[in-house]
Amino acid sequence: MANKVAVFRKEHFNAAHRLHNAAWNEEKNDAVFGKCNNPNFHGHNYDVVVKIVGEPDPQTGYVIDLKMLSDLIKENVLDKFDHKNLNLDIVEFSNLNPTAENIAVVIYTILRNKIDKKLELQIRLYETERNFVEYPVT
Amino acid sequence: MANKVAVFRKEHFNAAHRLHNAAWNEEKNDAVFGKCNNPNFHGHNYDVVVKIVGEPDPQTGYVIDLKMLSDLIKENVLDKFDHKNLNLDIVEFSNLNPTAENIAVVIYTILRNKIDKKLELQIRLYETERNFVEYPVT
Amino acid sequence: MANKVAVFRKEHFNAAHRLHNAAWNEEKNDAVFGKCNNPNFHGHNYDVVVKIVGEPDPQTGYVIDLKMLSDLIKENVLDKFDHKNLNLDIVEFSNLNPTAENIAVVIYTILRNKIDKKLELQIRLYETERNFVEYPVT
Amino acid sequence: MANKVAVFRKEHFNAAHRLHNAAWNEEKNDAVFGKCNNPNFHGHNYDVVVKIVGEPDPQTGYVIDLKMLSDLIKENVLDKFDHKNLNLDIVEFSNLNPTAENIAVVIYTILRNKIDKKLELQIRLYETERNFVEYPVT
Amino acid sequence: MANKVAVFRKEHFNAAHRLHNAAWNEEKNDAVFGKCNNPNFHGHNYDVVVKIVGEPDPQTGYVIDLKMLSDLIKENVLDKFDHKNLNLDIVEFSNLNPTAENIAVVIYTILRNKIDKKLELQIRLYETERNFVEYPVT
Amino acid sequence: MANKVAVFRKEHFNAAHRLHNAAWNEEKNDAVFGKCNNPNFHGHNYDVVVKIVGEPDPQTGYVIDLKMLSDLIKENVLDKFDHKNLNLDIVEFSNLNPTAENIAVVIYTILRNKIDKKLELQIRLYETERNFVEYPVT
């Protein structure tokens, strides 16, 4: 794939969440999730980096117009997640623990349906500067 | 104050909050606080920078031992605020809106009581990389 | 000013510029401004940090609504400077060298007219991560 | 390739550019490139990260001497691009749109000719903190 | 590996080191390692990013508990390397030059023995913001 | 001082050091300085930010030419401190503990003698991203 280039766009959103498994009692939830299990929630400034791989269009020199990609992320991810409670406000997490791993997979699934299938897609999600995840694995 | 040096220690905590004035109806709260008024809360990675001003001790070369300062911030601020809901879990915000301005003043008040009066104290609080506050003003 | 709090909002814009004194010949311009004098221009990602000092409103806990401040900066500074050539497109620099110092003073003058006189204002402008300026000096 | 290590060196340069396709009329250029099509140019602080993959030399522990790599980037990339107008001053862009994608490919081509063929090479180019590209794709 | 997710944890340590090959005379050491060969040592703030790849546990949503990973890094890497002289205090470097490449390999070897074999492991080590390495190469 | 502007230049150096008071026994040194007292030294990537305050020259728009300031810092500070052992290689610390506070004062003293007296000078020194100092205090 000698002519392919990867392009990246970084966006961010702020959200509350709680790590919790409803199938477990509180004792087990506390043992496994510790202070992340606070029933009153805590929160993060999430940074999301969207990576798109493809061949640049010879007319524009773009793999994808990053302004269009930014708008796509805003409409489909930021407008849905920003200033929200992931557990209470986002239907995808009604039965799914909003760990960084699961949030990345959910964002991938949302964007995969909106982006041309000939372009490869990967999500990197920063929960903090020191804790981050990537999906899928290349 | 030719011999004074300022020293700074940066720490961080993650918390949920909501901006809201209980004396107002929802319509007014929404008009003033917008998406920050989400009743289910949202959250942030807060960075707090504590500035201490004083004369270095000639025996140590320290204005204050930054390891001691770090422990002091951990015990009095981080253990209280980290992975908490500022509105529900922190008594200081039971009747005070947890804006960045008010959080900085609360942290200042907590630490001012723990730090030698001959040392000056200032708090800088980052709510996001782009929104931050400083108290008191020098 | 025991009750005053400083609040900061960071924004950015991308622009081309050239350092040049039209009253000098090319030899002197090259000697003083070096590669910054390239007649075809070069450019920067500028970060601008706007600092506002005042007393928080007891009803909101805000010195100033940072969303309103962000919109004010966008309308009066970013829409004017972003993706522009400072020398050719910005009337303020038709006879003023667009050094970081002068850009900061111009942004200050623009915003000072738009912000309540009871609030203090200061501009920090980053031309690069390693070169930055602040105006006025406190 | 169990013994291979990747080493990275980050450098930066500041340049002006304009996105434009000379085969199109202004209306189409404006529709596609928007404010990036400003005929007076705009500019960026570019960060370039050069990645080299190979086996460390057992005598030195180096894949490549990063001081030598830094000098190689300075002589072949920074001296050519820094404080320049990419469209007007750089021959490679006389008929090639200087998008981040194309700049990365041009830098790769320049350095590929200067670095031992047994070492793999990849370029990451940041146009802004939020927009960046990588070439080739691994 | 459609279900695999990569998770990353960043930690840091501060250490002194010197680059030197005991089999060479001083003249050759100076020629090859330059100021890094200072016999009195110099030092760095090292950032180490540990990447773990695996399938999230459906009960927790975790590939690995990042708190446990952080503790594992602290006990096995930071307690051993932080505030140490890599050449004099760390047995692994008694006959191995502590270049960034070799430090990354040593950290990988230490952690590979402590982490479940079904999880993939990669180390990224920053010696400075501008010089960093990754091992193994994927 | 309505017309004054502050300009800042950031530089960095890497050095080894040890915190120690030769007038104390080892027990007391360990109690006060902990792991910073390692007799084999540890080290840091120091960032130094030099702030200069003055009125911009109307001919250039510069308070001071930042390229000249950068060269001045390189010749007088970086060439002296970079890749050195502060305790053993720098005469100013032969009887002075190289804490961040004392390093900042030493750098201030060196540069104060090299910079026009009508310009104000302040030093900010980062020992790590989380520990930093400023001298003099304004």
Chain segment E6-33, per-residue pLDDT in tens: 999 999 999 999 999 999 999 999 999 9
Q: Which of D44, D55, D83, D129 is catalytic?
A: D83
Q: How far apart are CA F43 and CA E102, in angstroms?
A: 18
Q: Give F104's contacts in chain B (Cβ within 8 Å).
A: 5
Closest CA of chain D from E36, distance in Å = 11
Q: Across the interface, do C10 and B100 touch by the CB < 8 Å criterion?
A: no
Q: Verify whether residue B44 is a known catalytic residue.
A: no
Residue A17 sits at the vertex; the CA angle it makes with A11 and A20, to the nearest 5 degrees, is 135
Q: Closest by alpha carbon to F51, among A60, E113, C137, D127?
A: C137
**Residue C1 pLDDT exceeds 90:** no
User: Rounded to 5 degrees, what are φ and ψ at A26?
Assistant: -65, -35
Q: Which of E36, E92, E101, E134 is catalytic?
A: E36
At F2 the pLDDT is 59
Q: How far apart are CA F83 and CA A42, in angstroms?
A: 43
Q: Give E10's contacts in chain F (Cβ within 8 Å).
A: none
Q: Across the interface, do C136 and F2 touch by the CB < 8 Å criterion?
A: yes
Interface membership of C102 toward F (CB under 8 Å): yes
Interface membership of F129 toward B (CB under 8 Å): yes
Provide DSSP, B46-105: EEEEEEEEEPPPTTT--SS-HHHHHHHHIIIIIHHHTTEEHHHH-GGGSSS---HHHHHH
Mean pLDDT in chain C? 97
Rounded mean pLDDT, C82-107? 98
| Other CB atoms within 10 A of residue F135 CB | 26
- Structural contact between residues D7 and E100, judged by C-beta atoms closer than 8 angstroms: yes
Please list, in sequence order, all residues whose beta carbon lies within 8 angstroms of the beta carbon of residue F67, skipping any fewer than 6 positions away: C34
Q: How far apart are CA D136 and CA A5, in angstroms?
A: 6
How far are the Cα atoms of A14, A55, C103, D110 from residue D83, in angstroms, in the given order? 37, 29, 18, 18
Q: Across the interface, do B85 and A44 touch by the CB < 8 Å criterion?
A: no
**Residue F1 pLDDT exceeds 60:** no
Query: Band of the pLDDT at E1, cuts 50, 70, 90?
Result: very low
CATH number of E48's domain: 3.30.479.10
Q: Closest by alpha carbon to A22, among A36, A41, A37, A35?
A: A37
F42-81, pLDDT tens digit by residue? 999 999 999 999 999 999 999 999 999 999 999 999 999 9
A44-92, pLDDT tens digit by residue? 999 999 999 999 999 999 999 999 999 999 999 999 999 999 999 999 9
Q: Which residues of E74-108 are buried (b: 16+ CB within 10 A; e: fewer)?
A: eebbbebbbbbbbbbbbebbeebbbbbbbbbbbbb
Whose tokens are 């100033």? That residue is C64
How far are the Cα atoms of B121, D2, D43, D100, F69 from residue A59, in angstroms, in the given order? 58, 41, 21, 14, 44
Q: Across the interface, do C16 and D41 touch by the CB < 8 Å criterion?
A: yes
Interface membership of D125 toward A (CB under 8 Å): no
Rounded mean pLDDT, C105-132? 98
- Give pTM, 2 decimals: 0.97
**Residue D2 pLDDT exceeds 70:** no
C31-47, pLDDT tens digit by residue? 999 999 999 999 999 99
How many structural domains are present in chain E?
A: 1
Q: Does residue C99 sit in helix, strand or coil?
A: coil
Q: How far apart are CA F49 and CA F10, in angstroms?
A: 4
Interface membership of F35 toward B (CB under 8 Å): no
Name the token pair of D134.
């990588």
Q: How far apart are CA C127 and CA C48, in angstroms?
A: 9
Query: Band of the pLDDT at E2, cuts 50, 70, 90?
Result: low
Q: Does residue D53 sit in helix, strand or coil?
A: strand
* Conformation bin of residue D36: beta by default, left when phi > 0, alpha when psi is -120 to 50: alpha
- β-strands A120-126, B5-17: how paired? unpaired
Q: Verify whether residue F134 is a known catalytic residue.
A: no
Q: Walk along chain B (138 residues) and give the pLDDT tens digit of each residue.
A: 459 999 999 999 999 999 999 999 999 999 999 999 999 999 999 999 999 999 999 999 999 999 999 999 999 999 999 999 999 999 999 999 999 999 999 999 999 999 999 999 999 999 999 999 999 998
Q: Across the interface, do C42 and D43 touch by the CB < 8 Å criterion?
A: yes
Its ipTM equals 0.96
Query: Band of the pLDDT at F119, cuts 50, 70, 90?
Result: very high
**Residue D97 pLDDT exceeds 80:** yes
Q: Where are the alpha helices (DSSP H) in D8-133?
A: 26-33, 66-73, 79-81, 86-89, 100-112
At A1 the pLDDT is 44
Q: Does residue B42 sit in helix, strand or coil?
A: strand
Query: Band of the pLDDT at C55, cuts 50, 70, 90?
Result: very high
Interface membership of A12 toward D (CB under 8 Å): no
Q: What range does the domain containing A80 cover?
A: 5-135
Q: How far apart are CA C38 and CA D14, in angstroms?
A: 12
Q: Across the interface, do A45 and B129 touch by the CB < 8 Å criterion?
A: yes
Please list, in sequence order, all residues whose beta carbon lies within 8 angstroms of the beta carbon of residue F66, skipping any fewer than 6 positions away: C131, F7, F9
- Structural contact between residues D74 and D11, judged by C-beta atoms closer than 8 angstroms: yes
H or E element in which residue B110 lies: helix B100-112
Interface membership of F131 toward B (CB under 8 Å): yes
Torsion of CA C59, C64, C65, C71, to 10 degrees: 160
Question: Cα-atom radius of gyration of chain B, to the nearest Å?
Answer: 17
At C2 the pLDDT is 58
**Which chains contact D through at least 3 pairs of Cβ atoms less than 8 Å apart?**
A, C, E
Q: Does residue E78 sit in helix, strand or coil?
A: helix
Q: Closest by alpha carbon to C9, among C78, C109, C99, C81?
A: C78
**Which chains contact B through at least 3 pairs of Cβ atoms less than 8 Å apart?**
A, C, F
Q: How far apart are CA D78 and CA D48, in angstroms?
A: 10
- Structural contact between residues E24 and E32, judged by C-beta atoms closer than 8 angstroms: yes
Q: Give D129's contacts in chain C (Cβ within 8 Å).
A: 45
Q: Verify whether residue A36 is a known catalytic residue.
A: yes
E67-126, pLDDT tens digit by residue? 999 999 999 999 999 999 999 999 999 999 999 999 999 999 999 999 999 999 999 999
Name the token pair of A78.
């930021």
Q: Which of D2, D7, D11 sits opposite E101 (nearest CB)?
A: D7
Q: Does residue D12 sit in helix, strand or coil?
A: strand
Q: How far apart are CA F35 and CA F42, in angstroms?
A: 9
CA B25, chain centre distance (Å): 28
DSSP A111: H
Q: What is the 3-state secondary structure (H, E, C) of C37-52?
A: HCCCCEEEEEEEEEEE
How far are the Cα atoms of A15, A76, E92, F97 from residue B14, in angstroms, in the given order? 11, 25, 38, 36
Closest CA of chain A from B6, distance in Å = 26
Mean pLDDT in chain F? 97
Q: pLDDT exceeding 70 applies to what percent of chain D?
A: 99
Q: Give F59's contacts in chain C (Cβ within 8 Å).
A: 21, 23
Query: Band of the pLDDT at F113, cuts 50, 70, 90?
Result: very high
Q: Where are the alpha helices (DSSP H) in A48-122?
A: 66-73, 79-81, 86-89, 100-112
Rounded mean pLDDT, C18-22? 96
Q: Does residue D14 sit in helix, strand or coil?
A: strand
H or E element in which residue F46 lies: strand F42-54
CA C84, chain centre distance (Å): 14
H or E element in which residue A53 lies: strand A42-54
How many cross-chain Cβ pairs, A to E, lie less than 8 Å apart? 58
DSSP F66: H
**Cross-strand pairs, E5:** E54
